[in-house]
Amino acid sequence: MMYSSKMILLTVTLMLALTGVALGDEQHRDSAARAAARAAAGSNRAVTEDAAYWNQLGQQLVLDELGKQRINSQAKNIIFFLGDGMSISTVTAARIYKGQKAGKLGEEEQLYFDRFPYTALSRTYCTDAQVADSACSATAYLCGVKTDTDTIGIDANVEFNNCTTQLDPAFHVDSVMSWAQAANKGTGIVTTTRVTHATPAGTYAHVANRDWEDDYAQSFDGVDSTICDDIAEQLVLSNPGKNFKVILGGGRAYFTPRTMTDIETGAAGRRRDGQDLIGQWVADHPTGKYVTSRDELVNLDVAGTDSVLGLFSPAHMEYFLESSAANNPTLEEMTRTAIQMLQKEANGYVLLVEGGRIDQAHHDGRAKLALEEAFQFDLAIAAALNMTDPADTLIIVTADHSHTMTINGYPDRGNDILGLVGYLATDLKPYTTLSYANGPGSVNGYLGGVRVDLTDVDTTADSFRQPALVPLSSESHGGDDVAIFALGPQAHLFQGVYEQNYIAHVMGYAACIGPGVKFCDMEGGNADEYHNRIPLHTARSKNQNRAENKEDAVFWKGTAQALLQKELDKKPIEAQAKNIIFFLGDGMSIATVTAARIYKGQKAGNTGEEEQLTFDKFPYTALSRTYCTDAQVADSACSATAYLCGVKTDIDTIGLDSNVIYKNCSTQNEKANQVSSIMAWAQAANKGTGIVTTTRVTHATPSGTYAHVANRDWEDDYAQSLDDGVDSTTCDDIAEQLVRNSPGKNFKVIMGGGRAYFTPQEQQDPETGAAGRRLDGVNLVEEWKTKHPKGKYVTSKNELDKVDIATIDELLGLFSPAHMEYFLESSAANNPTLEEMTRIAIQMLQKETNGYVLLVEGGRIDQAHHDGRAKLALEETIQLDLAVAAALELTNTEDTLIIVTADHSHTMTINGYPERGNNLLGLSGDMGNDGKPYTTLSYANGPGFNTTFDENGTRIDLTNVNTTADGYLQPSAVPINSETHGGDDVAIFAIGPQAQLFQGVYEQHYIAHVMAYAACVGDGLKFCDAKTSSSSRTIVVPYALFAKIVMVTIAVIDCHVKDCKIIETETDCKGSGDG
Ligand SMILES: [Zn+2]
Ligand SMILES: [Zn+2]
């Protein structure tokens, strides 16, 4: 995998030599460097991943989705898996880590919960915090009420550290465990942390400070422990803890007095009050069993034991990778025993299983340990799947909050996820794929004025701490949304973007427990009564600063019950999509979505975290896996080919499958290598087509709709001339393909930037007077005008405003010689906004009797990130959101499918622990170990490096710097002229006909197959071919190309009847191997 240092030096020299040359895409890593690296290392892509492979897989995924059946029954049991700090980037990285452990490339691997049928996003902020901790978040997802950070089981009326308010029962909120016990269900908790730690404590405790795990901890805060029960006491002595059938985890010392020595270590207990709470538990549970080792647990007489308390370590259990000496059960083993114990319960059970040390490994800056803990967590989920029946057991997997780890750089496909990216930074030193925004790993980042050279460091060692930008003893949580994965009864209630406290309300509904609306009440046919049950939340509907309008338990219960009602009323639109509007936020990572939401709210004068983007409200959400056939981290070219043509391919290439050779013209012209896009399919069905973008219309994303190129940079013949040996007379550049070839020449609407790419050098730009770029003397704008006698060409907002839509057939708008200006820098330009272009594009296409397909790209979100300018990226995202709102206003969701997604992620994180309403673009409020503040938003790499460190190598003090200025570059840890993309999954948001086909975790190319299915275009499965009867649907597979799919159809559906319970054989069931 690793290149020789000689080769790296060579490629970097080449990279520097080309700096300043007007290459087609100046913002992405240099193609020459990549080509040289490829020659040195060889391609890592699996050779079998050609168009046929991806088409078959895409069609299978559609069938898979169509075969998915809701389980609309009561959940007898709930198993709730909480990956503490399991951010979406952790999920993506753990998936790759799992695959690579098994000797595969890795990116194509699936975690068990990746296969769950329903996926949603969870908004994790707390009532007083932009970035959550595990205490307030546990209160949200377990009790259904958001509250202040560091407090558990109480609402926001409680003051932190205030024992008196903790004792007020009016402020207590009960957890799903209390609700379950009231319904005579068994309950239990399993964790790898202390059982008194924040997450498990969320199931049973009411505390004004999460640290009060025992009376010794309370003594530091001067709390009278005789009045204010500590967490260990509450577990053993109070409801619902004392009734738990299963308690497994660490934390023995918190239950025993100083006078008692630990059974394993001989160390003293921690309690100052002399209580032996373990002895108390044993006395209270005469038919129970207390165990302290793996041997005792696996030999437990489950049938003869009524309840089990297992405390396997004095404090947290050891990290899996450091547990070889300990006689500890694994999380999987604990989960198995817990389920066996609870399966004895006649009325079912609710079980919490926490992978608690994912979080702590991240805090330690040790990504490998975090990924291994996530892997162990996944094994526990597999065990639960095998031991339960999805017909009666709801399994939920989610996280409480994110972390600051990113997957950065452009590592090749199959590159060791724990290794170096493979390309050098501008200081000629390598950098790791995984890194943190802050934390103890800063010692492996920038030290003593220079960046640490990791060339000869084993970054894959268990003990290695991934580099971090800001020095902190403990890496901080992240503020971006986390994912929810669900399977079983009512799992379909997770398919949107939700406030985190909604989760508890769904659990209550599904299992028919708790005070809220219940599935069982609906079955009783008492619909009206059930409607009345839902508290109104109108009084609180306007989000206000918490200080003025407290977000207490009433508020959160009310809003969540209303959200649940909305979810229950949601009806999939089972119709053909006459129109499709596909919105692509280039580089719009999930962190970008979360940040843009807060930015939007703060622009409106609110705290911000509670704001919703237009597409946050879309009914269906999914996750999209963005890697390409030869790249762990995608670019916009290979990803456009995936989501527009339904085929994953090599990085930097467009409209061709992976048989193409990068920069090789003859392989570009080879018809067998070319793949067509949704636009070609739509035109074959006599639909209108169009593209709108803020970038050049020849840039990677828009050209994905019409071009076939072996190098995305070949936007015109001038760009081609920079690559040796490219004959532009035989190898059409992208601008030529748009004007001369199908489907581009048939587009009804083309709007964006890039005029200079269409005009010869002899011609001056109408706006700037600068020369055109083309060497061949061709004026493609004139050619387009000739070809479209009833068309209209415009170059400014003024001209666009004057267009008489009714009288023209086509519209070409090129508003800038290159990319259109950033919105925040466009005041001088006579440019339409993305919203304005979108409105006119839709009006043009609404003239089409057979409907239309329109691509709208917010293309400069990506470029602002590359520039390290987070504010500009967020503003571009808001502009995209306004365009989405315009589309919703102009269309009917009954016949128009609207999809919003991104092509790939970026390396921006929301880090630190800023307070609720803290300016998102400002300082986090916390100090690094160097005594200096740091910004909430930062990048893993990029040009902001220069504003991060001064010439002496010390971190610049930002105290008096206006970090909210348009021109400010957010700090970055690695010096790279253009910040890189990120490798974590991105989100899909959908509304309209067949939007319901987006509700899981998918390979990115699946999107094109769904669009074709929904609009009944293309060669594959179509909604219109499906014969729907009252009870079932038969899929007609029309083309021989998919003969193999016909053969596996029955197996797939059969698999779904069983809901893929036997996961181990699913590969056979699906008939699809790994890549
Ligand atoms: Zn944490
Ligand atoms: Zn980019």
pLDDT in tens, 382-395: 999 999 999 999 99
Distance of CA 65 to the CA centre of its chain: 20
pLDDT at 1060: 29
What is the pLDDT confidence band of residue 549, given thresholds at 50, 70 and 90? Answer: low
Q: Which ligand minimizes its atom distance to the CA of 85?
A: 1
In sequence order, which residues have a C-beta less than 8 Å from that of residue 838 and are 6 or more positions away?
A: 692, 856, 883, 886, 887
CA distance 463 to 322: 10
In sequence order, which residues have a C-beta less than 8 Å from that of residue 250 and are 6 or more positions away?
A: 191, 192, 193, 194, 195, 311, 312, 313, 314, 315, 316, 317
Mean pLDDT of 219-248: 96
Which residues contribute to the annotated binding site for Zn(2+)? 586, 862, 866, 903-904, 981
pLDDT at 34: 55
Q: 805 and 785 in contact (C-beta within 8 Å)?
A: no
The catalytic residue positions are 636
The neighbouring-strand residues paired with 981 are 906
Mean pLDDT of 473-481: 97
C-alpha 401 – ligand 1 centre gap (Å): 8
C-alpha 636 – ligand 2 centre gap (Å): 6
What is the pLDDT confidence band of residue 829, given thresholds at 50, 70 and 90? Answer: confident
H/E element, 396:
strand 393-399
What is the pLDDT confidence band of residue 447, given thresholds at 50, 70 and 90? Answer: confident
pLDDT at 725: 83
Q: Which ligand minimizes its atom distance to the CA of 358?
A: 1
- In angstroms, the Cα distances linking 428 to 422, 443, 891, 980 are 12, 19, 52, 16
Which residues contribute to the annotated binding site? 586, 699, 701, 857, 862, 866, 903-904, 981
9 or 45: which leads in pLDDT: 45
**Average predicted confidence (pLDDT) for the chain:** 89
pLDDT at 45: 52
CA distance 913 to 910: 9
Q: What is the pLDDT of residues 520-545, one digit of tens each?
A: 987 543 333 322 223 322 222 333 34
C-alpha 603 – ligand 1 centre gap (Å): 30
439-472 core/surface letters (b: 16 or more CB in 10 A; e: else): bbbbebbbeeeebbebeeeebeeeebbbbbbbbb
Q: 163 and 151 in contact (C-beta within 8 Å)?
A: no
pTM value? Answer: 0.91
Q: Which ligand minimizes its atom distance to the CA of 86?
A: 1
252-260, long-range: CB within 8 Å, 24+ apart, which pairs? 252/278, 252/292, 252/311, 252/313, 252/314, 253/314, 253/315, 254/194, 254/196, 254/213, 254/214, 255/214, 255/281, 255/311
Q: Which ligand minimizes its atom distance to the CA of 410?
A: 2
C-alpha 477 – ligand 1 centre gap (Å): 6
pLDDT at 1043: 35
Q: 758 and 780 in contact (C-beta within 8 Å)?
A: yes
Q: Which ligand minimizes its atom distance to the CA of 401?
A: 1
- Ion ligand 1: residues, CB < 5 A: 359
Q: Which ligand minimizes its atom distance to the CA of 476?
A: 1
Return the amino acid letter for 525. G
- Does position 1029 have pLDDT exceeding 70, yes or no? no
C-alpha 981 – ligand 2 centre gap (Å): 6
**Over pLDDT 90: what percentage of the chain?**
83
Mean pLDDT of 107-129: 97
CA distance 987 to 900: 8
Which residues contribute to the annotated binding site for Mg(2+)? 586, 699, 701, 857
C-alpha 586 – ligand 2 centre gap (Å): 7
C-alpha 852 – ligand 1 centre gap (Å): 48
Q: Which ligand minimizes its atom distance to the CA of 638?
A: 2
pLDDT at 809: 98
Beta strands in 790-907 (DSSP E): 791-794, 810-814, 852-858, 896-902, 905-906
In sequence order, which residues have a C-beta less than 8 Å from that of residue 916 and are 6 or more positions away?
A: 125, 126, 127, 128, 129, 130, 546, 607, 609
C-alpha 97 – ligand 2 centre gap (Å): 25
259 or 1026: which leads in pLDDT: 259
1009-1025 core/surface letters (b: 16 or more CB in 10 A; e: else): bbbbbbbbbbbbbbbee
- Does position 503 have pLDDT exceeding 90, yes or no? yes
551, with CB counted inside 10 A (0-12, 13-18, 19+), is: buried
Q: What is the pLDDT of residues 901-917, one digit of tens each?
A: 999 999 999 999 999 99
The neighbouring-strand residues paired with 585 are 858, 902
- In angstroms, the Cα distances linking 587 to 631, 931, 987, 991, 999 are 16, 33, 11, 21, 21
C-alpha 653 – ligand 2 centre gap (Å): 14
Angle between helices 1043-1057 and 51-67 (to 10 degrees): 30
- Does position 766 have pLDDT exceeding 50, yes or no? yes
- Does position 577 have pLDDT exceeding 70, yes or no? yes
The full length of the chain comes to: 1075
C-alpha 860 – ligand 1 centre gap (Å): 34
- Does position 1050 have pLDDT exceeding 80, yes or no? no
- Does position 1034 have pLDDT exceeding 50, yes or no? no
DSSP string, 603-666: HTTS-STT---GGGG-SEEEEEE--BTTBSS--HHHHHHHHHHS----TT-BSB-TTS-TT-HH
In sequence order, which residues have a C-beta less than 8 Å from that of residue 878 and are 6 or more positions away?
A: 596, 599, 600, 603
In sequence order, which residues have a C-beta less than 8 Å from that of residue 26 and are 6 or more positions away?
A: 978
Beta strands in 661-714 (DSSP E): 688-696
Rg of the Cα atoms in the chain: 29
Q: Which ligand minimizes its atom distance to the CA of 865?
A: 2
C-alpha 863 – ligand 2 centre gap (Å): 6
CB atoms under 10 Å from CB of 919, counted, come to: 16
For 530, list phi and psi in degrees, rounded to 5.
-70, -35
Q: What is the pLDDT of residues 334-370, one digit of tens each?
A: 999 999 999 999 999 999 999 999 999 999 999 999 9
Q: Which ligand minimizes its atom distance to the CA of 136?
A: 1
**Over pLDDT 70: what percentage of the chain?**
89
CA triplet 613, 640, 1003: central angle to 5 degrees? 80
pLDDT at 47: 54
Cis ω on the peptide bond leading into residue 975 (within 30° of 0)?
no
Q: 770 and 788 in contact (C-beta within 8 Å)?
A: no
Mean pLDDT of 122-137: 97
C-alpha 132 – ligand 1 centre gap (Å): 9
Q: 929 and 472 in contact (C-beta within 8 Å)?
A: yes
pLDDT at 35: 55
pLDDT at 1027: 54
**Comparing 286-290, 400-404, 566-570, 1019-1023, which segment has the lowest mean pLDDT?**
566-570
CB atoms under 10 Å from CB of 295, counted, come to: 11
- Positive or negative, the Cα torsion across 922, 925, 929, 931? positive
pLDDT at 40: 47
In sequence order, which residues have a C-beta less than 8 Å from that of residue 394 and are 6 or more positions away?
A: 75, 77, 78, 79, 486, 487, 488, 489, 490, 491, 507, 510, 511
Q: 87 and 452 in contact (C-beta within 8 Å)?
A: no
pLDDT at 1053: 29
Residue 113, both tokens: 């919960």
pLDDT at 27: 54
CA distance 598 to 617: 15
DSSP string, 73-114: S--SEEEEEEETT--HHHHHHHHHHHHHHTTS-STT---GGG
C-alpha 933 – ligand 2 centre gap (Å): 29
C-alpha 533 – ligand 1 centre gap (Å): 36
Distance of CA 747 to the CA centre of its chain: 33
CA distance 443 to 432: 14
C-alpha 85 – ligand 1 centre gap (Å): 6
pLDDT at 534: 31
CA distance 870 to 822: 12
- In angstroms, the Cα distances linking 415 to 93, 399, 460, 836, 981 are 12, 27, 12, 43, 16
CA distance 439 to 908: 16
C-alpha 151 – ligand 1 centre gap (Å): 14
Nearest to 716 by CA among 777, 757, 760: 757
CA distance 729 to 15: 28
